[in-house]
Amino acid sequence: MRKSIIISLFAGCLVILFFTLTSMIKVFSSDLNEPVMMAEQHNSYRLVLITQELDTPFWAKVERGARKAADEYGASMEVWGTYGSNRDDFLKNMEVAIASKVDGIIVQGLDTDEFKYLTKVKAAGSGIPIITVANDVPMNESLRRTYVGSNHLEAGSMIARQLVSDMGFAGQVVLMVSDRQEDFQRSRLTGILDVLRPYTKIETKIVAAGDSREEVADATNQLLNEEPDADAFIAVSAKHAGSIIQEISKRMQVDEFYIYSFDDSPETLTLMQQGQIDALIAQSPETMGEESVTHMIKWLTGEQVPLNPDGYFTDIRVLRAEDAQ
């Protein structure tokens, strides 16, 4: 009997020792494997950058910055886009990305009800974070996590201050905008008007044109007929600058006007080097791409929660004609 008890106690001790050793091995294995798991964590993130202007130099730089940051973090980066601002295809890309359950979407903001529905209902409902880049959509309307890009309100203020410095405190200024204004255009316009408002002898005229070169040319031609005494033009949408200058040049000398724009694209830089644009706002698209991926990764890992709802502004500066020579 006594021998049986001793054997039972011994067996029990062996069982306890077994489970103790097993638990210790699991703990140490977990500690040893944790850095490997953390290192591999970013590799599992699938990010998508979506734009409706894939064929522009500006967005090529955004893509370059985004891919660079994704490579540094070891994340997967896909770039989807459309050519010629095809909004239907752009929205379809958004739907596909959401349906594919990607980990994060970095997207050019589009101020439409369809876009806001996709971000606010479908993406949010699927738990997919959205970061807008370059062009923003208000957070309360889109539920995007943050915005990365230029401070367009300040950009408008900067170009208006440059105009006043060049033209003086009196004159007629034409502000050329799109028929359908995005959030970035409204912000630029607000910044311009806020600066010019105190100058009572500066008259502003807002002219709405379409997005095509032909529509902008027609609007410019009509404006020149109605307001032959205009002194300055500001292309609130950068892609309008070339059409405005082309139409003016058919009727008079371009250097008779003060002309301003946004975005240092190859076209606007060439026009500036030719002395046809007095100044423009240069942006930082590659930085936008890098920082948007960085903030997305930091949100996904929990390193940066929440993200700044007001956004992260990248560098802007006034580039004058003499700087581009």
| pLDDT number for residue 321 | 83
Task: Average the pLDDT over 257-282 and give the result.
Answer: 91
| pLDDT number for residue 206 | 94
Q: Copy the structure tokens of residue 157.
A: 């203020």
Return d(Cα 63, Cα 104) in angstroms, integer: 15
Annotate 238-267 with three-state secondary structure: HHHHHHHHHHHHCCCCHHHCEEEEECCCHH
State the CB neighbour count (10 A cutoff) for residue 166: 15
Task: Average the pLDDT over 25-31 and give the result.
Answer: 31
Q: What is the DSSP letter of 44?
A: G
Strands 46-51 and 104-107: parallel
Alpha carbon 214 to chain centroid distance? 27
Nearest partner of 252 among 280, 218, 225, 215, judged by Cα: 225
| pLDDT number for residue 28 | 30
pLDDT digits (tens, 9 = 90+) for 68-106: 999 999 999 999 988 766 889 999 999 999 999 999 999
| pLDDT number for residue 325 | 62
Confidence of residue 268 (pLDDT cuts 50, 70, 90): confident
| pLDDT number for residue 8 | 53
Q: How far is CA 111 from CA 24, 49, 54, 118, 323, in A?
A: 56, 17, 18, 12, 34
Task: Give 164-170's long-range contacts (Cβ < 8 A, gap of 24+).
Answer: 164/195, 164/196, 164/199, 164/202, 166/258, 166/278, 166/279, 167/231, 167/232, 167/258, 169/199, 169/201, 169/202, 170/199, 170/201, 170/202
- Residues contacting 131, CB < 8 A, separation 6+: 104, 105, 106, 107, 144, 145, 146, 147, 148, 292, 295, 296, 307
Return d(Cα 170, Cα 231) in angstroms, integer: 9
| pLDDT number for residue 87 | 87
> What is the percentage of the chain residues whose pLDDT exceeds 90?
65
| pLDDT number for residue 289 | 98
Q: Which domains does the chain have, with CATH numbers?
A: 42-150+285-314 (3.40.50.2300), 152-282 (3.40.50.2300)
| pLDDT number for residue 84 | 67
- The yes-or-no verdict on residue 40 having pLDDT over 50 is no
Q: Copy the structure tokens of residue 80.
A: 């989807």
Confidence of residue 31 (pLDDT cuts 50, 70, 90): very low
- Sheet with strand 130-133: strands edge to edge: 76-81, 46-51, 104-107, 130-133, 146-149, 312-313
Mean pLDDT, the chain, integer: 86
Strand partners, 206: 175
- The yes-or-no verdict on residue 176 having pLDDT over 70 is yes
| pLDDT number for residue 23 | 31
| pLDDT number for residue 90 | 94
pLDDT digits (tens, 9 = 90+) for 115-165: 999 999 999 999 999 999 999 999 999 999 999 999 999 999 999 999 999
Which residue has better confidence, 35 or 44?
A: 44
pLDDT digits (tens, 9 = 90+) for 210-220: 777 888 889 99
Task: Average the pLDDT over 280-296 and give the result.
Answer: 97
- With both helix axes pointing from N to C terminus, report the angle between 285-300 and 57-73 in degrees, rounded to the nearest 10: 40
